[in-house]
Structure 1
Amino acid sequence: MGEEAPQQQWLSIHDPATCTRKGLCPVKKKLRGRGQESDSPTPSHSLYFEQHGTGPIKVVAIVGLNDSCNACDAQVKYFGRLPQYSFLVFDNRGAGNSDTPRGPYSTEGMAEDVVVLLDFLGWTETRSLHLVGFSLGGMIAQQLSYRIPERFISLTLGTTTAGGFPLCNIPPVPKIGLYCRTQFTRDLEKKMVCIVEMCFGASWLDATAENDAEGRTNREVQTALFMERSALTRTPKPMGAISQMWAGFTHHVRAARLAQISKTIPKVVILTGDEDHLVRPSNSAYLKKHMPEAEYLVWENTGHAITMQHVERFNALMERVLQEGQARVEGRI
């Protein structure tokens, strides 16, 4: 296992009280030639990571397009404080505190980054990990779970797509203009307004937020949360932002590979919201069609940012998935 960057160089994005390990993982570029593959002698980039907790149940979370790992803050706060869990989050290449190597990127290459990170941390045992990916992170999770299926107990694919067809990898046509504004608007406040509109359904945004002492709407609460998150991490460089977008647009996992993943991993869950404005819910239906063993869930009145709209509900789902996956590995169900 490799040595981590000195921890004092990095302030924990999440709760420092639960952060047990953090730093930079060096990733070496793959050199290909004459039918062979080897590592470059020098790293091409590094991934920033945080581990919260030291429990035996290990969870790996992969975030979405141009997000930093603070997109999983609600999950880190919950699982990182429970003694039975080790919760790993990281910034994909081109985002957050990770480096921005030259693009374009691919979901296969970004999945290879995760393999390197897991090896670096020593998370290599058979049937020892639970994997969850959201949006672009779900695309990377598909590639990763095909690459090293033997390590995973469970796989949760949230609001994502297998790609491959012209309309699978782009937002619905009425939302393309809004999507472009989320990526290229420089005014931070205007950008946050666009992101919130893209991530949640209008009726939910207009409703009064539950348990909010100020009586704000969900729109006001989520806009404030996105503003807070943006202040905690670096703005992606244009190279990283565009290269991650390219990875999402070119992503494709063939039906035969989806079927193989479904057969190989003990517990698979496909989750989407019926008001997802970024990744069509029909993409999750396609995943289910070719992953027949998977559990398929469609949450009503729910947008793309499913873990932020339904924090407690999603955390409860994750706990169930982790338990059922372990039970299947042990032959109890």
Structure 2
Amino acid sequence: MAVDVDGLSTLFNKDTCTRRGLCPVTRIRNQSEIVESHSVYYEQHGTGPRKVVFIMGLNSSSFAWAAQGDYFGKLEGYSILLLDNRGVGHSTTPRGPYTTKGMAEDVIVLLDYLDWKADRDLHIVGVSLGGMIAQELALRIPQRIVSLTLAVTTPGGHWWTNFPPWKGVVGLTKLLLTPEPEKKIAILLPTVYPQAWLDAKAEDDPEGRTNYEVQVVIYRRRIAITAPQFFMGAVSQMAAGLTHHVSAEQLKTINDTIPYIHIVTGDSDNLVWPGNSRYLAKCMPDAEFEQWEHTGHAIHVQRPAKFNSMLERSFAKGIRRCS
């Protein structure tokens, strides 16, 4: 763990960090919702020409990208951008409810702030709610995007169709009503990972711990260096997920304007029905789709090496299609 500028803590490698701070999002362009001024926390790692934007999901900070930040931050040729969405992590919490459109506008403000404006220059990676935000980005700045990776996400629809499976509903409700960090961890882990995986021995762990034991340590560390999330931020992000909707016609537009799209889901997801990813693939026939066996919602954490390898291939395919 490193403590750096402005007294804000980070889990990412300070040696690869090129800039970090708070983007003063004082005016969100083309946004219908009314929110007060707020700031978005970000970190950039690396200085290479391949620019990757990682967008995290519901009520999770950018630190959930730890495995991706460590890997791509040190990989030659990459510049990666990690951010905390409004209402979580080191970002501020404006009044809600939020929308995925408004959260996407936050990202665009940040990209402009960092001068990441060039055409066909960005690889966008979104997981869960981050994937919903990524879809909105693809509709707003398609000319800037080289590749789009949509992991364990959905195009949404009517709010009542956006609810997760029952186990996810129960888990999210308990998390919302549970203030104690240790109790939150015990609720969260079986919600985002398959129980069989949690019970199994962790690969390459010198202490021979189970995946559950390893993840408890990781989540304790994340909680320890991140300010507790306000109730307003949690329910407002939930509102964004429940109201998200990108139509079949809009998905076709994304299909036709983004050079390369990759859709990935797990078969044991308790928060977003895997069928939503299959529907995305149906509406975007040029996209590549895969479903991983025995894999839960936190797909990028449960299968980090496989996920990172998939991203490298996706980025390369996007670049080839633009050449």
Q: Tell me the TM-score range normalised by the shorter chain.
A: over 0.9
The aligned amino acid for 2:310 is L
* CA distance in structure 2 between the aligned counterparts of 1:167 and 1:207, rounded to whole angstroms: 35
* CA distance in structure 2 between the aligned counterparts of 1:206 and 1:28, rounded to whole angstroms: 46
Give the counterpart of 1:54 among 26, 47, 55: 47
Structure 1 residues 286 and 95: alpha-carbon distance in aligned structure 2, compared to 1, 3 A threshold = same
Aligned-pair identity in percent equals: 51
The aligned amino acid for 1:142 is Q
Structure 2 partner of 1:19: 17
Q: Contact (CA 8 Å) 1:12, 1:50: kept in 2 or not?
A: no
Q: Contact (CA 8 Å) 1:274, 1:303: kept in 2 or not?
A: yes
The aligned amino acid for 1:29 is R
- Aligned pairs for 1:3-18 (under 5 A) are 7-18=5-16
2:297 matches 1:300: no
Query: 2:223 is paired with a residue of what secondary structure?
Result: helix
2:307 matches 1:314: yes
Structure 1 partner of 2:137: 144
Structure 1 residues 327 and 218: alpha-carbon distance in aligned structure 2, compared to 1, 3 A threshold = same
* CA distance in structure 1 between the aligned counterparts of 2:9 and 2:228, rounded to whole angstroms: 17
Structure 1 residues 185 and 43: alpha-carbon distance in aligned structure 2, compared to 1, 3 A threshold = closer
Structure 1 partner of 2:219: 226
Q: Which runs of 4+ in 1 moved over 3 A?
A: 6-13, 29-32, 165-168
2:172 matches 1:183: no
Structure 2 partner of 1:125: 118
Structure 2 partner of 1:291: 284
Query: 2:149 is paired with a residue of what secondary structure?
Result: strand
Q: Contact (CA 8 Å) 1:27, 1:43: kept in 2 or not?
A: no
Structure 1 residues 95 and 214: alpha-carbon distance in aligned structure 2, compared to 1, 3 A threshold = same
* CA distance in structure 1 between the aligned counterparts of 2:252 and 2:261, rounded to whole angstroms: 11
The aligned amino acid for 1:156 is T
Deviation string, structure 1 residues 255-284 (Cα, Å, up to 9, x no partner): 111111111111100100000011010110
* CA distance in structure 1 between the aligned counterparts of 2:285 and 2:108, rounded to whole angstroms: 26
Q: Contact (CA 8 Å) 2:10, 2:225: kept in 1 or not?
A: no
Q: Contact (CA 8 Å) 1:192, 1:223: kept in 2 or not?
A: yes
Q: Contact (CA 8 Å) 1:26, 1:43: kept in 2 or not?
A: no
Structure 1 residues 293 and 65: alpha-carbon distance in aligned structure 2, compared to 1, 3 A threshold = same
2:21 matches 1:28: no
Q: Contact (CA 8 Å) 1:168, 1:283: kept in 2 or not?
A: no
* CA distance in structure 1 between the aligned counterparts of 2:37 and 2:6, rounded to whole angstroms: 23
Structure 2 partner of 1:3: none
Give the counterpart of 2:38 among 45, 53, 58: 45
Give the counterpart of 1:115 among 108, 116, 121: 108
* CA distance in structure 1 between the aligned counterparts of 2:248 and 2:208, rounded to whole angstroms: 47
2:152 matches 1:154: no
Q: Contact (CA 8 Å) 1:302, 1:309: kept in 2 or not?
A: yes
2:62 matches 1:69: yes
- Aligned pairs for 1:241-320 (under 5 A) are 241-320=234-313
Structure 1 residues 98 and 8: alpha-carbon distance in aligned structure 2, compared to 1, 3 A threshold = closer
The aligned amino acid for 1:20 is T
Structure 1 residues 105 and 166: alpha-carbon distance in aligned structure 2, compared to 1, 3 A threshold = closer
Give the counterpart of 1:90 among 80, 83, 86: 83
Specify every segment of 5 or more residues in structure 2 that has no aligned partner in the other structure, as ranges: none
The aligned amino acid for 1:247 is A
Q: Contact (CA 8 Å) 2:154, 2:277: kept in 1 or not?
A: yes
* CA distance in structure 1 between the aligned counterparts of 2:229 and 2:261, rounded to whole angstroms: 31
Query: 1:64 is paired with a residue of what secondary structure?
Result: coil
2:322 matches 1:324: no
The aligned amino acid for 2:258 is I
Q: Contact (CA 8 Å) 1:12, 1:19: kept in 2 or not?
A: no
Query: 2:179 is paired with a residue of what secondary structure?
Result: coil
- TM-score normalised according to structure 1 size: 0.92
Q: CA RMSD in A?
A: 1.9
* CA distance in structure 2 between the aligned counterparts of 1:30 and 1:309, rounded to whole angstroms: 35
**Deviation of the 1:124 alpha carbon:** 0.3
Deviation string, structure 1 residues 86-108 (Cα, Å, up to 9, x no partner): 01001000111111111110000
- Once the two structures are overlaid, the 10-residue window that deviates more, 181-190 or 122-131, is 181-190
Alignment coverage as a number of residue pairs = 319
